[in-house]
Amino acid sequence: MKRVILHSDLNCYYASVEMNEHPELKGKKVAVCGSTENRHGIVLTASYPAKRCGVKTGMANWQARQACPDLIAVDPHYDLYLKYSKIVRNIYRRFSETIEPFGMDESWISLPFTDDVEGIGYKTAEKIRHIVFDETGLTVSVGVSFSKIFAKLGSDIKKPDAVTVISQNCYKEKVWPLPVSDLLYVGPATTRKLSKYSIHTIGDLANADPLLMKNWFGKNGVMLWNFANGTEAAEVMPEDYVMPVKSVGHGTTYVRDLNNNYEVWLVLYELAQDVGHRLRVHELAAKAVEVTVRDNELGWRQWQVQLPYPTQSPLEIATAGYDLFLARYDWNRPIRALTIRGINPRSENEPIQLDVFNDYQRRIKQQKVDDAIDSIRNRFGVNAIKPAILMGDLSMANDKCETVIMPSPMYQ
């Protein structure tokens, strides 16, 4: 299948926007850092001068200052980042109607009516690069290829402000010598496991036996093998495409550690308010609950439990998650962050099989209460009504960074 796909990646995005808004920061060692008070105290992105001093995304603020004592730390301004993201995507729309966002700063762009990667693809990428800089002051790296994976890889190969072409004529020479960890979705754990099988480069992965890859990694192994060989056929999805909902969750970091079961219950119940609401919006009911716990040493654990009935009830979701937590967490360390998810969703209108061991009439009454609460919140705001137990200080972060839409898995 011949096609032309671009992947655009705005360079050092958050830091670049801040320097655009504050010209006095240009050329300096700048890092956009999450709020230390709200426990999001990590580097979100850094300028190239800061990176050259050893500052890396995900590094704790104090570590960044150790690496770069004269670092200028800037608070994040998500409204600005969203504004610039929309402006840049409007530029992309001059070249194609098919644009798939991958976070705020990255997008795949499918070029219509051509399969000329090295000619039309390259020239279009250069036009985009120049227009973005001229109209926004931001620089962008663009990968041009015949597959989404290689286009993404191309935008990573040369930064900043560059275009890299990976065509069917040259992908083996350009791509196969690279570390396998450069491939999208090959994280540290997968890299370590591949290394055990003597797979260190993308070429090693491409030349592995696909049957063995399936035995070792399941269907994901075959997916990665196709990625390495340039045979993945995922389409660039339209910007308004809505991926089927597979789970609904909410979580955040807390301004202080949670130290006892009661604090955990309050947080899970508060998070479940949002989970239940969004299940209603999607007209779904969760068949299971998943809880993720991150301790104050950044270790994490995750557990799931099936529910006797599908539910949208915040109380039922929180209760199931809390019972699961009590059964599995040993309190070796205080808790820094919690997430609760309603998973394995089904239509809220799908019939269910009743049994004699549950009080179904009580569940109907609770559902009517939840419906009324949701209606009041939709009309007067989320804080118009809430359980009295949640009226106090829950120590939840309030910088709203968890509300920013992050990259989702690439549509297959």
Q: Are residues 215 and 338 in the same domain?
A: no
Whether the CB-CB separation of 172 and 56 falls below 8 Å is answered with no
Nearest-angstrom CA–CA distance, 9 and 105: 6
Last residue of a domain, one of 229, 258, 289: 229
CA-based nearest residue to 224, from 244, 194, 192? 194
Q: Are residues 361 and 322 in the same domain?
A: yes
Q: Give me the pLDDT at residue 97, please.
A: 92
User: At 115, which CATH number?
Assistant: 1.10.150.20
Q: Are residues 393 and 267 in the same domain?
A: yes
CA-based nearest residue to 228, from 190, 255, 254? 190
Task: Let me know if residue 107 belongs to a domain.
Answer: yes
Q: Are residues 380 and 261 in the same domain?
A: yes
The DSSP bridge pattern shows strands 98-101 and 43-46 to be unpaired
Whether the CB-CB separation of 208 and 198 falls below 8 Å is answered with no
Task: Let me know if residue 353 belongs to a domain.
Answer: yes
Nearest-angstrom CA–CA distance, 207 and 229: 8
Task: Let me know if residue 345 belongs to a domain.
Answer: yes
The DSSP bridge pattern shows strands 300-311 and 43-46 to be unpaired
Count of other CB atoms within 10 angstroms of residue 254: 20
Residue burial 77-106, b: 16+ Cβ < 10 Å; e: rest: eeeebeebbeebbebbeebbebbbbbebbb
Determine the distance from the C-alpha atom of residue 360 to the mean position of all C-alpha atoms in its chain, rounded to a whole number. 38
Task: Let me know if residue 65 belongs to a domain.
Answer: no
User: Quick check: helix, strand or coil at residue 142?
Assistant: strand
Q: Are residues 340 and 309 in the same domain?
A: yes
Task: Let me know if residue 54 belongs to a domain.
Answer: no
Q: Are residues 273 and 388 in the same domain?
A: yes
Count of other CB atoms within 10 angstroms of residue 209: 10
The verdict on whether 106 is a catalytic residue reads: yes
Q: Give me the pLDDT at residue 242, please.
A: 60
Whether the CB-CB separation of 250 and 340 falls below 8 Å is answered with yes
Last residue of a domain, one of 198, 229, 260: 229
Task: Let me know if residue 46 belongs to a domain.
Answer: no
Mean pLDDT by runs of 10 across the 412 residues of the chain is 90 96 95 69 91 90 92 93 95 95 93 93 97 97 96 95 95 97 88 94 96 91 95 84 74 81 93 91 92 82 91 93 95 90 88 71 82 86 83 63 44 46
**pTM listed for this prediction:** 0.70
Last residue of a domain, one of 175, 200, 229: 229
User: Rounded to the nearest 5°, which phi and psi values hold at 9?
Assistant: -135, 110
Q: Give me the pLDDT at residue 243, please.
A: 60
Domain range for residue 113? 4-8+98-130+139-229
Q: Are residues 322 and 391 in the same domain?
A: yes
How many helices (H) and strands (E) the chain has is answered by 14, 12
Task: Let me know if residue 15 belongs to a domain.
Answer: no
33 burial class (0-12, 13-18, 19+ CB within 10 angstroms)? buried
Q: Are residues 385 and 344 in the same domain?
A: yes
Q: Which of 21, 24, 100, 106 is catalytic?
A: 106
Q: Are residues 256 and 188 in the same domain?
A: no
Q: Are residues 271 and 318 in the same domain?
A: yes
The domain tally of the chain equals 2
Q: Are residues 210 and 261 in the same domain?
A: no
Q: Are residues 254 and 366 in the same domain?
A: yes
Task: Let me know if residue 90 belongs to a domain.
Answer: no
User: At 290, which CATH number?
Assistant: 3.30.1490.100
